[in-house]
Structure 1
């Protein structure tokens, strides 16, 4: 049985799924050198993994949310404790293997960041089925399911398609943010697919060197029925939105340098919150851009502040419509 702590909301509007959670460990050192022992500064621990990050930010923004994730070992226990301390509602699906760690080192002398992402535990077929069962139970009365992050070892490549099929059966919209095989094996049933340019390249198998090619590829996914909406995040260049009705370009919010860890998850979280508020998609995406920018102001993978997101949202510009010929490869 899941282990909720604190007690989850009875009818969450947003349910997130994280199949490969991580205990995020962040520290800093003056300079990264090979062979030498590196004396690090104070260490920060945060609950991590795509869907957990989404749930954390959605909770901070006032969303009604429940995070579902498999976890085991002492690392899994610490993730549960940290979420409980923050008040984020969750269901922990017990697994035999220990949850992974993710290690980030900030080099203070250069401002560079080094991220070491460890592989996740191997989940048995029974544990995978248990995750789907708990997701189905949690999502029955939800408005949105957000499946985010990589798939751990042992999980079948079509797992997210199974999640999409479940959401279709429950008449719940699915937001998906993943990469690799987990993305390539999704063929239908996604409401909003959020991806980076790299993930979009992996999905279509082309270099996509220009914005026009990127937008064209996004519309291919829409036209093929894999997703109703595709949002391509461009980092400090903003984002591109492709729907059946057209294309739009969103400008980024100029920000001073900072850690971009978790910015994409914050974007997804804010979009989900905006949609659950009944906002139009374009307005929800603007809130997502503000939340992504606000993550640059936080240490490690700590959630952004609601006041910062609202202040930055007020500064976001309306998107520019893109003519049909602009999205065609040249």
Structure 2
């Protein structure tokens, strides 16, 4: 069982333009779609489609229109009752796949709602193999929310606690890495650089910089770092090794949800007992498959081609 937590879910609206986005102009759309979004929900959608048992925990009012969309996915959800509405995010995609995103902050959580959400996560996590903490945090949660969740889940576990995977950024990521030692984090190269207090590396140095930066975190502050690099594939860095998998060549339809699908791909392989190279390979395959699909479509096994993904061992220069 893999439990995902989406503290700040979103109704994702995607609009595909007939011409590149031009600031200040009226433009025509080729089509549009709506999906039940939020990083944790996206991970659960991919896991469920692959036959992996999963539960998605999220805050929502009982009459929120978002629920109808998420229920259509077939994902098992644990709804924590709150007063505010789930936010709506907008993605505008150019014909070449370039995306522009407008993300709303989400509804304010009050103290009682925050406590109820943590309690609901702890209850859902009993007996789980993994707990995935994914996405931004809503107003009122505080930068240390994920740290509080990790402490509550581990504190309530009897025997072996579930492993913790975190996919967030900024202050929320910095806090949980500094105070809770998650088993896995999944930043992209810019989020990783920010986490270790560095600026973006030049294009020719991104790979070496990411390996070096990740190795400063394992194993004292995190168990492993899965770094998504877009068209350059992904890295997996543990205390014992650094692995790189190159991405297959694809026609990009939308990059929304590709990182979430990468994390799901990793977990699908881990759930099947895969070794680090197999987990990394699965992460790249699922991320590339998601980028090939429009909107926030999450790949099923039928959407994943049989790409030959080569995994190589790296050492920092």
Q: TM-score, normalised by structure 1?
A: 0.87
Q: Distance in 1 between matches of 2:60 and 2:221?
A: 30
Match of 1:17 in 2: 5
Q: Answer yes or no: is 1:104 the counterpart of 2:91.
A: yes
C-alpha distance after superposition, 1:109-142 (max 9, x if no partner): x653221111111111211111111111111011
Is the alpha carbon distance of 1:143 and 1:111 closer, same or farther for their aligned partners in structure 2, counting shifts above 3 Å? closer
Match of 1:8 in 2: none
In structure 1, which of residues 142, 164, 189 is the aligned counterpart of residue 150 of structure 2? Answer: 164
Is the alpha carbon distance of 1:285 and 1:78 closer, same or farther for their aligned partners in structure 2, counting shifts above 3 Å? farther
Q: Distance in 1 between matches of 2:111 and 2:171?
A: 18
Deviation at 1:231, TM superposition (A): 1.2
In structure 1, which of residues 175, 188, 196 is the aligned counterpart of residue 188 of structure 2? Answer: 196
Is the alpha carbon distance of 1:42 and 1:257 closer, same or farther for their aligned partners in structure 2, counting shifts above 3 Å? closer
Deviation at 1:189, TM superposition (A): 2.7
Deviation at 1:88, TM superposition (A): 0.9
Is the alpha carbon distance of 1:107 and 1:217 closer, same or farther for their aligned partners in structure 2, counting shifts above 3 Å? closer
Q: Answer yes or no: is 1:81 the counterpart of 2:76.
A: no
Is the alpha carbon distance of 1:201 and 1:73 closer, same or farther for their aligned partners in structure 2, counting shifts above 3 Å? farther
Q: Distance in 1 between matches of 2:62 and 2:22?
A: 32
- Secondary structure in 2 aligned to 1:252? coil
Match of 1:45 in 2: 34
What root-mean-square deviation, in Å, do the aligned CA atoms of Structure 1 and Structure 2 show?
1.8
Deviation at 1:160, TM superposition (A): 1.1
Q: Distance in 1 between matches of 2:171 and 2:107?
A: 17
Q: Distance in 2 between matches of 1:321 and 1:167?
A: 34
Is the alpha carbon distance of 1:58 and 1:80 closer, same or farther for their aligned partners in structure 2, counting shifts above 3 Å? same
Deviation at 1:62, TM superposition (A): 1.1
In structure 2, which of residues 217, 224, 247 is the aligned counterpart of residue 221 of structure 1? Answer: 217
Deviation at 1:37, TM superposition (A): 4.1
Where does the alignment leave 5 or more consecutive residues of structure 1 unmatched? 1-12
Q: Distance in 1 between matches of 2:59 and 2:303?
A: 31
Where does the alignment leave 5 or more consecutive residues of structure 2 unmatched? none
Q: Distance in 2 between matches of 1:43 and 1:270?
A: 26
Larger mean CA deviation between 260-269 and 293-302 belongs to 293-302
Match of 2:169 in 1: 179
On the 8 A contact 1:61/1:270 being kept in 2, the answer is no
Q: Distance in 2 between matches of 1:282 and 1:134?
A: 34
Q: Answer yes or no: is 1:56 the counterpart of 2:49.
A: no
Superposition pairs of residues 1-330 of structure 1, within 5 angstroms: 13-31=1-19, 32-72=21-61, 77-108=64-95, 111-169=97-155, 170=157, 171-186=161-176, 187=178, 188-207=180-199, 209=201, 210=205, 211-223=207-219, 225-309=220-304, 311-312=305-306, 314-317=307-310, 319-323=311-315, 327-328=316-317
Q: TM-score, normalised by structure 2?
A: 0.91
Equivalent pairs counted in the alignment come to 306
Deviation at 1:39, TM superposition (A): 4.4
On the 8 A contact 1:68/1:91 being kept in 2, the answer is yes
